[in-house]
Each structure stands twice: as C-alpha cells, then as structure tokens.
Amino acid sequence: MNCIFCKIVKGEIPSSKIYEDDIVVAFNDIAPQAPIHILIIPKKHYSTILELEEDDKELIGYIFLVANKIAKDLDFHERGFRIVVNCNRDGGQTVFHVHFHLLAGRAMRWPPG
C-alpha cells in the first residue's frame, strides 16, 4: 500500500507527533490551515469514512476523546477549536486514509467552504 499516513504510522516517514498510542497517532499538518492544525488518524487503514462499520463506533468516539486531551494539553480548549473530517474528492479529501483535522489558534468562520 502506498498510503503516506500508513507510512507515518510505521515510522517510515517522519512527522511532528503530538500524541500516539496503540490506536491513533496525531501529528502537525505539513500545510497548516490554522495556527494549530493537527491531524488525528487511526493506525488501522480506512480509505474513507464510508469504510467504517458498526464495530468502528468506539474508534470514532475515542478519536474525539484524543482531540479533547490534545486541546487540554496544548491549552487551547477554552478558546475553542474545530474538528473536520472530509470524505472523498468533492468533500475535500486529498489523502485517502481517514483523518480528523483539529484546527485552533484563531477564530473559525462559518460557512467553512
């Protein structure tokens, strides 16, 4: 598989890791769209959220708990943040490994796109 995020998980490509455990890894985005732009990815490969099944619901909840922990650890939880998940090309997905964008450090606007 030629997935850049799988290579980051395996340690084949360096990244600026913020958090890692047996289930997920979080690292700084190389093209940040906000002062704080962290990607949280499951270590297991899913191309899009459309591949998620009933058994994966705990994983998704866990990712939100990791986002919560990161926001508190990096002290941007009180000012606020945004979590974004893109699905397929028209949804803005460019890397086909499920990932959650954790954005903070500035006021977020609405609508986003």
Assign domain 4-104 to its CATH architecture: 2-Layer Sandwich (3.30)
Q: 80: phi > 0 → left, psi -120 to 50 → alpha, else beta; which?
A: left
The pTM assigned to this predicted structure is: 0.95
Of the candidates 91, 104, 80, which has an alpha carbon nearest to the alpha carbon of residue 26?
Answer: 104
- What pLDDT is recorded for position 86? 97
For the chain, what are the domain ranges? 4-104
pLDDT digits (tens, 9 = 90+) for 74-112: 999 999 999 999 999 999 999 999 999 999 999 999 887
Average pLDDT, the chain: 96
Q: Please check the confidence at residue 36 and state whether its pLDDT lies above 80.
A: yes
Q: Of 45, 77, 99, 101, which residue is the catalytic one?
A: 99
Active site annotation includes 99: yes
Q: What's the start-to-end Cα distance of the chain, in Å?
A: 31
* % of the chain residues with pLDDT over 70: 98
